[in-house]
Structure 1
Amino acid sequence: MELFFLAMLVLVMATALGSGYPVAFALPGAAILTISAAAVSGYLFAGDSAAYFAQGSPSQWLSAGVTNFRGIYWEVERDTLIAIPLFVFMGIMLQRSKIAEDLLVTMAQLFGPIPGGLGISVVFVGALLAATTGILGATVVAMGLISLPVMMRNNYSHPLATGTIAASGTLGQIIPPSIVLIILADQLASAVDQADTARKSLYKATTGEFSMPSEFAVTSTSAGDMFLGAFIPGLVLVGLYMTFILVLALIRPKLAPAVPLEGGYDRTLIAKAMITLVPPLVLIFIVLGSIIAGVATVNQAGAIGAAGAMIMAGYRLKEGQPRAYWPAMLAMAAVVCIFILSSQFNMNVKNIQTSTDALGIGLGVVALGALIVALLWSGKRALQIDNTLRGVMLDTAKTTSLVFIILLGAAMLTAAFRAFGGEELVKEFLTSLPGGFWAQFIIVMAVIFLLGFFLDFIEIAVVVVPIVSPILLADPQANITAVWLGVMIGLNIQTSFLTPPFGFALFYLRGVAPAAVKTTSIYKGVVPFIGLQLAALGIVGYFPSLVNYLPTRLSLLGEQAPPPINPKLQTCIEETVFTQFQSDGDRIRSAIGDAKNLNVSSLPPKLAKSFGDSLAKAENTFKLLDDIKATEVSLKQAVPAYSPLHVQVREIQRDVRKVQVEVKHLRTALSRTRGDDDAAKAARERLQASIDKDMAEVERLEARIPADWAEKNKAFKLLLNADKKARTTYRRNTDQSYKPVIEIAKILETSDALGELAPDFAALTKLADSGDATAVEAAAKALSSKLSPIAGSNDIRKELRKVSRHAARSPDDVPALKNLLVETSRVYDDEVRWRTAAKADLGEGLGKYEAAIRNTIGLRSLRRLPEGTALNVAACMSHHTDVSLSF
């Protein structure tokens, strides 16, 4: 019966959508009707309202809906959705204030004389609008109204003109900041948790180990990562469009004729181009650049974009009138002042320590006030002129409300789909496909492509993605990142919006195109652009680094970058370091040899021995590198023969686990079947027969496992363990090689600071002569605090603690207190003496040695990766790595 209600759910939803019923109500309505029907049927025919649910009950579904409602509107972790109204406001304001129209006219004048220049200009402006609006319908309509008449007047081919406009209008799906990317990031964030849990279960089931190494965890994503990941694919797509138009115009000039420029490139045109192009480009650069540089979150960047669009609208709506640019000039001056003040003063309000800090804060408040005045001034203009601000606010509210209502309805629909076992059916179908991950991925992408004919991107993102993405992300064979999957889905959705006869972009364009443009011309025009989008999809799929590199680079270079000791970084770090050893091995060996000749006689015996051991371990690094290379070679040689067997057996074992789960459920049902009447006995017999049948199926499946599996699996595990052991030994060895060096270096570095405390120790001794034990205790504690940042001062601090304890417990025993101070002074003097001598003997040589091994042997002990190493590691990590043989 669960399948019946699952089919009913899909049918009701499809019927409602097909009849034109609003999506925002079709999704939750289908869920409510189906859940209610299942609950009532279960109560009437089985005596249990939950009887026809594969998992959970009507009450659990309701509580899941409440949880999803709270998750969408109140959870702090999902505050990324706040960026949606900000970016919508930004895009609509730029369109309503006719800045987009100015962009197209100016670009057409600049590039018109080039073959296909007008079409290239349309693509360029479409990309800019995509970077501000992110809404497909609005962009296509705006581009159709602005650019299509211009292209027709200049004798452009109707198919080429309409195809260029439709394709350019859909760029908002993939070029950040995009609403679809924000929603995909939000949906994928929860999908990553499910996928990671599934992968951990798989690891436990296949290896028998309870904890999965963190390097095998599923890589999560965020809206910022999605923006970064989609940036290069978006540029690739724009480049493909422009190249196609240019080549077509060169081959067949009549299809895209050059547009002569009246008056030539004079100062007036250049000035107009600067005024028209620079502000939107600067705004886009600031919005995206602040995210890419890690300066602002997605929400903060959205606020910047909304404020910038308001200021730009303020002068555009007043164009040609006196004082049109005054608010913009005031805002620009205020922003420049804030940047200058931030670089010259401490602008932390909670940390005002001097009058200079107070002056900086005061000036900052004045500059901020000027910026607020500029915003209010521009907003007043937008409100008074053509009631622009009111229209923008209404459109923003409508679009945002639609998005959030659909999010809520989709959450209810997804919960109902899972309640009837739909998610398990999808998972079972996909995992049973031959061909592994790529077969699953192609099927999912084909389904999303087809759904794009009928559903908007929001419905696809919130209905389909939560169901299929955990399955794809959990696969250890492909080991894809969530950001790559999100960008691929975004590109796919964009492709489906152009495909005849149901592509949404075609309907939007048809609605604003003049009657002279035939529908068949629109369909013909988008065909080559669909091919270009599919080519871009293939390029991004084949080169995942186009998506993964920028997010990985930012994470490794940002303020919150993981330390080099992070387990997920180790393989790529070692690959980078091994390359450095190959090129700089002789220099590193020479540095180790020079360090052996250093005079360590002035060091305490313990430190001298530690330093000598570290040099021996540093020399041993090269042998350990050879061990790792040997295990790598053995693994690579074994993989081709072992991998097919591994895949075959794991598939069989997966089927066995499915049957065993069914057996478990049957045995539970059998244990709950009570009574001695004929019906109960018959039910028990049926259940037992099903159990026996399933157990026979388990035996049949296990018999398919090759006889040599255990032996070959054991041999391969030995190779894996040998590689793991070699790498673990190498990592431990390098850590032990570098830590004593840096410890001694820090001690010598702080030796001058230790020597400067001599007056404090002398003053402490004089206090003891006065007999004031309370003052001695306070001075000893204060001196201990001063020693805290000085490396290697533990022995002195230990003596000071003895002094302070004695002063507190036995304040009258002054002689004993003086003896303790004498011993403390002796320890201090000895420490200063040997440090001074060691600094003279070792300082320069030790510094050279540490610098020579810092980025190789000492890399794991650093606080963060050096920039050059981080870039190499980012390039390495941007590729997907198959980890299935470890499962």
Structure 2
Amino acid sequence: MTGLILFAVAFILLMLGIPVAFAFGASAVFAAWIDPNVGLQVFGLLPYRIFGRMDNVILMAVPLFIFMGLILEKSKIAEKMLESIGELFGPVRGGLAIAIVIVGAILAATMGIVAASVVMMTTISLPVMLKHGYSPRLAGGVIAASGTLGQLIPPSIVLIILGAVMNISVGDLFKAAVIPGLIVVCLYIMYILILSFFKPEIAPAIKTDKPYSQILIEAVKSLVAPAILIAIVLGSVFTGFATPTESAAVGALGSIILAVFYGTFSWDLLKYAAKETVTMTGMIFMILIGAAAFSLVFNESGAGDIVTSFFTDDISSKYIFIFFAMSLIFILGFFVDFIEITFIIIPILLPIVQEFNIDPLWFALLIAINLQTSFLTPPFGFSLFFLKGAAGNKIQTKDLYIGIIPFILFQIITLLIIFFFPHLVEMLVK
């Protein structure tokens, strides 16, 4: 009963517009107060849980990767790359859309910040796509979907938080996520190629007066800096030379060096990145504290044991449990952010994962793919909000919602591929 009260109160507070961290914290206090078997004295254990999370060295990578992404966003490195690769693929049907997918994947491996990626690609590419006759639905869908690739392709903040919550090696998660990330990218590109082949009017080729050799040289030049940063950050993790936290620190320093090299570094840039990093990190850790209070009351009330026994004793099928877990996360993704889902729902599911002896690395990748979808699902898909806010009246909300549907389906297809072929997760780990 206490578990139901927890979720009901949290849902009501969220619908009333209460910030997530306070909604979960307040629901925990209320549920503990009305349950005599729990009581408010249970919060005496809360500081130990919070400090246990704060001592997690892996979580230090979160602000460092955020800082790196913000520096790259404001230093115009990513912007130049998007423009030059757009020109490179422009002469092909659907080429500009393909360029956005490729740039989205590269930005995911360097920036990993959905808001920055979506807003930047919307501001630069959407007017160009619409000007050259691209369908608003395809343009909006491909930009929103490509901007969310940073949730799956390492170094993803989702993977870092999942690793910390599930006690899994973040380095292994990074390696395991490479193939699912490539599958998503390939599905996007195949869809664009097939669609533009049968309907060339919605994704026409773009002619340019520039010599193609010049365009190719400019594209290669724009890729050098991101390629070096990706090689340093991910290469050091994949080879075991550095931990994710150490590679994040190197990446943060490397982004500053690149900004200096390209002549875009300034103290205002550094100040902006530092301020925004503190703001975003503070938000994440406030949610962590609220989630810690929520899960503490949930477990102390015995609700966690009831859920575990229901699946392991009454249902006794790990596949039904996985279907239920993925469906729950997918539905929640329509309404709440990935951070809340990770901190609230995953600790509840984790004991059941252990009882069924499910590979935690494989399960974590299924969750990561599912959480990426939460950025695209209306009505509260954050990627859709970012795009609409940056686009203004250039694209209608209805076109955006319809245009994103194929890309959501490709996310689900990727989820099914990894579910039925779990060895794909282990290929780069071993």
TM-score by length of 1: 0.47
Alignment match of 2:118 (pick from 102, 117, 140): 140
- Which residue of 293, 296, 304 maps to 1:423? 304
Asked if 1:280 corresponds to 2:258, the answer is no
C-alpha displacement of 1:503: 2.2
How far apart are the structure 2 equivalents of 1:270 and 1:492?
Answer: 36
Cα-to-partner distance string for 1:777-812 (whole Å, 9 max, x where unaligned): xxxxxxxxxxxxxxxxxxxxxxxxxxxxxxxxxxxx
Structure 2 matches for 1:844-855, cutoff 5 A?
A: none
Structure 2 match to 1:240: 187
Residue number in structure 1 paired with 2:99: 121
Shift of 1:72: 1.6
Looking at structure 1, the residues matched to 64 and 418 of structure 2 have their Cα atoms a distance apart, in angstroms, of 29
Residue 543 of structure 1 deviates from its aligned partner by 0.9
| 1:137-165 Cα deviation digits (max 9, x unpaired) | 33222222222112112211110000001
Q: Kindly report the root-mean-square deviation, in angstroms, between the aligned alpha carbons of the 2 structures.
A: 1.6
- Note the 1:405-804 alignment, pairs <5 A: 405-432=286-313, 434=315, 436-476=317-357, 480-551=358-429, 553=430
Structure 1 pair 145/435, CA: closer, same or farther in 2 (3 Å)? Answer: farther
Deviation at 1:485, TM superposition (A): 0.8
Separation of aligned partners in 1, 2:377 and 2:69:
25
C-alpha distance in 1, partners of 2:400/2:18?
27
**Preserved CA contact (<8 Å) 1:433 1:440:** no
- CA distance, structure 2, for counterparts of residue 425 and residue 448 of structure 1: 19
Q: CA deviation at 1:298?
A: 0.4
Q: Give distance in 2, aligned partners of 1:94 and 1:420.
A: 46
What's the CA shift for 1:495? 1.7
Cα distance in 2, alignment partners of residues 432 and 453 from structure 1: 30
Q: What residue in structure 2 maps to residue 316 of structure 1?
A: 262
Question: Is 1:184 paired with 2:162?
Answer: yes
Q: Which residue of 2 aligns with 1:250?
A: 197
Q: What residue number does 2:26 align with?
A: 29
Map 1:219-368 onto structure 2 (within 5 A). Answer: 221-267=168-214, 269-318=215-264
Q: CA deviation at 1:63?
A: 3.3
Q: CA deviation at 1:434?
A: 4.3
- Partners of 2:65 and 2:314 lie apart in 1 by 40
What is the aligned partner in structure 2 of residue 590 from structure 1? none
Q: Which runs of 5+ in 2 are unaligned?
A: none
Work out whether 1:62 is the aligned partner of 2:59: no
Deviates more, 1:19-28 or 1:395-404: 19-28
Corresponding residue of 1:674: none
Contact conserved, 1:453 with 1:499, CA < 8 A, in 2? yes
Structure 2: distance between partners of 1:429 and 1:140:
41
Conserved? CA contact 1:453–1:504, under 8 Å: no
Kindly tell me the number of residue pairs found equivalent between the two proteins: 430
Find the counterpart in structure 2 of residue 748 from structure 1. Answer: none
Task: State how far apart, in whole Å, the 2-side matches of 1:100 and 1:419 are.
Answer: 48
Distance 2:86 2:346 in 1: 39
What SS class does the counterpart of residue 513 from structure 1 fall into?
helix
Partners in 1 of 2:220 and 2:3 — Cα distance? Answer: 58
Per-residue deviation, 1:426: 1.7
Q: Distance in 2 between matches of 1:412 and 1:141?
A: 34
Counterpart-to-counterpart distance in 1, 2:109 and 2:406: 23
- Counterpart AA for 1:171: L
Deviation at 1:507, TM superposition (A): 2.0
> Which of the numbers 4, 7, 23 marks the counterpart of 1:7?
4
Distance 2:182 2:369 in 1: 12
| Structure of larger gyration radius | 1
Q: Is 1:382 matched with 2:266?
A: yes
Specify the SS of the correspondent of 2:133: coil
Q: Is residue 2:285 matched to residue 1:404?
A: yes
Q: Is the 8 A contact 1:113 1:258 kept in 2?
A: yes
Q: 1:20 maps to what in 2?
A: 17
Amino acid at match of 2:44: S
Determine if contact 1:164/1:526 at 8 Å carries over to the other structure: yes
Please say which of residues 300-309 and 273-282 is displaced more in the overlay. 273-282
**What secondary structure does 1:254 align onto?**
helix
Conserved? CA contact 2:179–2:425, under 8 Å = yes
Q: Work out whether residues 93 and 203 of structure 2, in 8 Å CA contact, stay in contact via their aligned partners in 1.
A: yes
- How far, CA to CA, are the matches of 1:388 and 1:232 in structure 2? 34
Higher RCO (CA-CA < 8 Å; seq separation 6+): 2
**Could you tell me how far apart the structure 1 residues matched to 2:60 and 2:380 are?**
31
Tell me how far apart the structure 1 counterparts of residues 314 and 332 of structure 2 sit (CA, whole Å).
21
1:376-414 deviation per Cα after TM superposition (whole angstroms, max 9, x unaligned): xxxxx421xxx1111111111111111112112111110
| Contact 1:134/1:180 (<8 A) preserved | no
The offset of 1:287, in angstroms, is 0.8
The 8 Å contact of residues 498 and 506 in structure 1, kept in 2 or not, is answered as yes
Where 1:228 maps in the other structure, the secondary structure is: helix
Aligned partners of 1:429 and 1:17: how far apart in 2? 28
Distance in 2 (CA, whole Å) between partners of 1:13 and 1:110 is: 49
Secondary structure at the counterpart of residue 515 of structure 1:
helix
Q: Secondary structure at the match of 2:392?
A: coil
TM-superposed CA distance for 1:439, in Å, is 0.6
Q: Which amino acid aligns with 1:547?
A: V
**Cα distance in 2, alignment partners of residues 7 and 232 from structure 1:** 38
Distance in 1, matches of 2:53 and 2:350, equals 19
Once the two structures are TM-superposed, the CA of residue 432 in structure 1 deviates from its matched residue by 4.9
Change over 3 Å in CA distance of 1:83–1:523 after alignment to 2 = same
Shift of 1:103: 1.1
**Distance in structure 2 (CA, Å) of the matches to 1:520 and 1:432:** 45
Q: Deviations over 1:748-771 (max 9, x none)?
A: xxxxxxxxxxxxxxxxxxxxxxxx
In structure 1, give the amino acid aligned to 2:393.
A
What residue is the counterpart of 2:128 in the other structure? 150
- 1:712 aligned partner: none
Aligned-pair CA distance for 1:259? 1.0
Mapped partners of 2:361, 2:209: distance in 1: 47
2:312–2:356 contact (8 Å) kept in structure 1: no
Name the CA distance, whole Å, in 1 between partners of 2:316 and 2:295.
28
Whether contact under 8 Å (1:131, 1:175) holds in the other structure is yes
- Identity over aligned pairs, percent: 42
How far is 1:433 from its partner?
5.4
**Does 1:99 find its partner at 2:77?**
yes
CA distance in 1, matches of 2:398, 2:318: 38
Q: CA deviation at 1:258?
A: 0.8
Q: Aligned partner of 2:175: which letter?
A: L
1:597-617 residue CA offsets vs partner (Å, 9 max, x unmatched): xxxxxxxxxxxxxxxxxxxxx
For 1:342, the equivalent position in structure 2 comes to none
C-alpha offsets along residues 858-881 of structure 1, whole Å, 9 cap, x if unaligned? Answer: xxxxxxxxxxxxxxxxxxxxxxxx
Kindly tell me: are residues 31 and 132 of structure 1, through their superposed partners in 2, closer, same or farther at Cα, counting changes over 3 Å? Answer: same
Question: In structure 2, what residue type is equivalent to 1:73?
Answer: M
Using the alignment, how far apart are the partners of 2:262 and 2:247 within structure 1?
Answer: 22
- CA contact 1:433–1:439 (8 Å) conserved in 2: no
Structure 1 residue ranges (4+ consecutive) displaced by more than 4 angstroms after TM superposition? 432-435
